[in-house]
């Protein structure tokens, strides 16, 4: 038996950038290098983002005569090893894409029945992260088995590679994904750059709070923060207005509170000051990256007044005893949200209050007993870090 060093990749949700949401098939090594450069110069790396991930459409349509995947020489003339080296020299990590099926979603070669040779090739190129999609899987083959197979291949390829499974929440994935060895798993369909998509994905995962944690994170799909309709895909939102800044703020807060990996999907070369400040919010990132990686639980607010999905509170237990508290108003009207401390296990008779810190304004709001109530504008949120105090 060979002794291997202990690896902690995947302990926390991955932070990075992925090419798909904005660029889809229109990718090349110049673009990827520019993103890596900006990760360093614009502070994303210092904020904690580390993975630069190339999505689908990076390879030729056919494998070579030896059965190997071939990077498209028109898009990546220097090859993947050289690109990985460039990214590593920046102190960042390099991610790529493949698929559990015979072909990727865009029709390029998948890794079905090539898992071990592809994992070896990724390791030789210096890949640190693999997004593994689910298109064109033979119908009578178990998807669970295919993810377990690629997990084995990656864990024995000679390099630490984060395994990001992406089967869109199909095939009862919650029942078997942790045992498969995947470090994260897509639990939703594809996100779109609009408010209805954000709400739909978030609400679909609130009751799945037990299915996330260290080394196996519930991935609610990549971020659309800052896209403003900038995708070249009509499906994602090409030519549309995208979301408002308020809606992007709530989107980012939900993904942070719910422990999803945070993969930036916008063109950061065009990021507005608002987008950059939001994506680098140290308070929200600290909640997402809390070492215990616990899911958030939901507290309904006065359901007799309005629907339970329109407005709610999320609470996340943090390692140091603090609580992260998010007040979310997904409705189109301003609403006062009231948090009763009893619902978090704090009785008035305990003599314990909560010292509240606003994670967006960086303000200490003071100490509160028994309840906290605040008006939350339409589509907006308030995120607090609360410390217990007597």
- Which residues carry out catalysis? 133, 190
DSSP class per residue in 90-133: TT-EEEEEEESSSB-TTSSB--TT-HHHHHHHHHHHT--EEEEE
Handedness of CA 203, 205, 210, 214 (dihedral sign): negative
* Cβ(363)–Cβ(387) below 8 Å: no
Find the largest Cα–Cα distance for the chain. 75
Instruction: At 334, give phi and psi (nearest 5°).
Output: -65, 145
Neighbouring residues of 210: CB distance < 8 A, sequence distance ≥ 6:
295
Dihedrals φ, ψ of 354, to 5°?
-120, 125
User: Distance of CA 377 to CAs 143, 199, 258, 327, Å?
Assistant: 43, 16, 21, 11
User: Quick check: 219 and 200 in contact, CB under 8 A?
Assistant: no
List phi, psi (to 5°) of 150. Answer: -65, -35
- The gap from C-alpha 365 to its chain's centroid, in whole angstroms, comes to 30
Of the candidates 221, 152, 157, 141, the residue with the CA atom closest to the CA atom of residue 181: 152
d(CA 127, CA 53): 9
Long-range contacts of 360-367, Cβ-Cβ distance < 8 Å, separation of 24 or more = 360/249, 360/281, 360/283, 362/283
Could you tell me the two tokens for 25? 């098939």
Alpha-carbon distances of 351 from 31, 315, 320, 369, 372, rounded to whole Å: 56, 21, 20, 8, 16
């Amino acid at each position: 038996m060979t002794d291997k060093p202990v690896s902690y990749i995947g302990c926390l949700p991955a932070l990075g950038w992925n090419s798909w949401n904005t660029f889809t098939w229109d990718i090349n090594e110049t673009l990827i290098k520019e993103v890596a450069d900006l990760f360093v110069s614009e502070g994303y790396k210092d904020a904690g983002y580390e993975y630069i991930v190339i999505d689908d459409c990076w390879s030729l349509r056919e494998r070579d005569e030896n059965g190997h995947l071939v990077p498209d020489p028109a898009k990546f003339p220097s090859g993947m090893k050289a690109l990985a080296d460039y990214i590593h020299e920046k102190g960042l990590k390099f991610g790529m894409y493949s698929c559990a099926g015979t072909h990727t979603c865009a029709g390029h070669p998948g890794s079905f029945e090539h898992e071990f040779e592809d994992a070896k090739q990724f390791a030789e190129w210096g890949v640190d992260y693999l997004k593994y999609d689910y298109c064109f899987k033979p119908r009578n083959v178990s998807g669970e088995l295919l993810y377990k197979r690629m997990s084995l291949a990656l864990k024995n390829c000679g390099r630490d590679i984060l395994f990001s499974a992406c089967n869109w929440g199909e095939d009862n994935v919650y029942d078997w994904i942790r045992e498969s060895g995947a470090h994260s798993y897509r639990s939703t369909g594809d996100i779109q750059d609009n408010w209805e998509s954000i709400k739909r994905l978030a609400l679909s995962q609130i009751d799945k709070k037990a299915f996330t944690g260290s080394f196996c994170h519930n991935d609610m799909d990549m971020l659309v923060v800052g896209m403003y309709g900038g995708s070249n895909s009509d499906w994602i939102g090409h030519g549309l207005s995208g979301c408002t800044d308020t809606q992007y703020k709530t989107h980012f807060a939900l993904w942070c509170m719910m422990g999803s990996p945070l993969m930036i999907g916008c063109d950061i070369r065009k990021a507005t000051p608002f987008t950059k400040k939001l994506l680098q919010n140290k308070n929200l990132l600290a909640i997402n990256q809390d070492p215990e990686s616990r899911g958030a639980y939901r507290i309904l607010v006065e359901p007799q007044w309005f629907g339970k999905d329109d407005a709610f509170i999320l609470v996340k237990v943090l390692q140091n005893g603090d609580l992260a508290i998010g007040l979310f108003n997904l409705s189109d009207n301003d609403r006062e949200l009231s948090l009763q401390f009893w619902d978090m296990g704090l009785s008035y008779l305990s003599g314990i209050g909560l010292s509240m810190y606003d994670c967006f304004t960086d303000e200490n709001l003071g100490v509160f007993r028994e309840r906290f109530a605040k008006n939350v504008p339409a589509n907006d949120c308030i995120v607090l870090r609360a410390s217990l105090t007597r």
